[in-house]
């Protein structure tokens, strides 16, 4: 499920999926609670670029000043009481100030980059959760989707525009969401929607009895049939 689609793609979606999108002209954007928008990412990128430009400008100034003045620390002591060297001494003081600013900018740049990386990861995770929630419809019970999807999202990565299972799943890595979810519910009948229950003895009912659902000590849903 794409983050942005045009009207033709929107019209082709089922109504249940259309409800997840918000229209703006001929463009429809996926609405997921808590998701960070591309505008949020762009704002962080712009701030990061500005910090880098300021950092590069300071480094260029420092390089020029250092080349002109040589070793600053030794010269400050030599010229402390020499009025003829007053201008050079002032330049050395300015050089030391610029060094401190450069160190501060370097630290700020590292902090901003960490924030950007965190935000980018959060955007990807939210997209994966939204995609899994959509693909799980009809495979996992509606009331169980949110709990299961939050945990399963950690086993997916975004690759070439697709969301695939990652290496943490061993021989099940590289699967698309629907294929993996179909395998995931095998042996977990408590997650399967009632309409997809088995035949005789499978808990789905055959019309000649009454379905009853109970919850076991482990939290699983057990469906059995009471014959008339």
Listed by start position, the domains of the chain span 38-124, 141-193, 197-227
Distance of alpha carbon 126 from alpha carbon 2, whole angstroms: 12
Average pLDDT over residues 141-165: 88
**131 φψ region: left (φ > 0), alpha (ψ -120 to 50), beta (else):** alpha
Q: E strand or H helix at 6, and its extent?
A: strand 4-6
Has residue 104 got a pLDDT over 80? Answer: yes
Distance of alpha carbon 84 from alpha carbon 90, whole angstroms: 12
Has residue 202 got a pLDDT over 80? Answer: no
pLDDT for the residue numbered 4? 78
pLDDT for the residue numbered 32? 67
% of the chain residues with pLDDT over 70: 67
pLDDT for the residue numbered 52? 81
Residue 127, exposed/middle/buried by CB under 10 A (0-12, 13-18, 19+)? buried
% of the chain residues with pLDDT over 90: 10
> What ranges make up the beta strands (E) of 56-152?
none
Has residue 212 got a pLDDT over 70? Answer: no
Average pLDDT over residues 179-190: 91
Has residue 129 got a pLDDT over 80? Answer: yes
- Per-residue pLDDT band for 210 (boundaries 50, 70, 90) equals very low
Tens digits of per-residue pLDDT, 33-53?
655 566 766 777 787 788 888
Tens digits of per-residue pLDDT, 50-79?
888 887 887 777 666 555 555 555 555 555
Beta-carbon contacts of 143 under 8 Å, excluding residues fewer than 6 positions away, are none
Average pLDDT over residues 86-110: 79
Has residue 136 got a pLDDT over 60? Answer: yes
């Amino acid at each position: 499920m794409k983050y942005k689609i045009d009207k033709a793609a929107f019209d082709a979606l089922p109504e249940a999926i259309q409800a997840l999108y918000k229209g703006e002209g001929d463009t429809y954007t996926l609405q997921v609670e808590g998701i960070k928008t591309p505008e949020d990412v762009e704002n962080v990128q712009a701030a990061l670029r500005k910090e880098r430009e300021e950092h590069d400008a300071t480094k260029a100034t420092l390089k020029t000043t250092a080349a002109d003045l040589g070793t600053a620390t030794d010269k400050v002591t030599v010229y402390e009481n020499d009025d003829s060297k007053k201008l050079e001494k002032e330049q050395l003081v300015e050089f030391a100030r610029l060094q401190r600013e450069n160190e501060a900018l370097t630290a700020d740049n590292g902090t901003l980059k960490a924030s950007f990386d965190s935000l980018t990861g959060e955007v990807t995770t939210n997209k994966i959760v939204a995609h899994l929630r959509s693909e799980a419809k009809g495979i996992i019970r509606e009331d169980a989707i949110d709990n299961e999807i939050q945990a399963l999202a950690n086993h997916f990565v975004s690759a070439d525009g697709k969301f695939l299972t990652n290496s943490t799943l061993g021989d099940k890595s590289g699967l698309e969401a629907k294929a993996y979810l179909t395998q995931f519910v095998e042996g977990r009948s408590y997650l399967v929607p009632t309409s997809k229950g088995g035949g005789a003895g499978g808990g789905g009912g055959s019309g000649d009895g009454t379905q009853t659902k109970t919850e076991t000590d482990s939290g699983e849903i057990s469906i059995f049939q009471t014959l008339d």
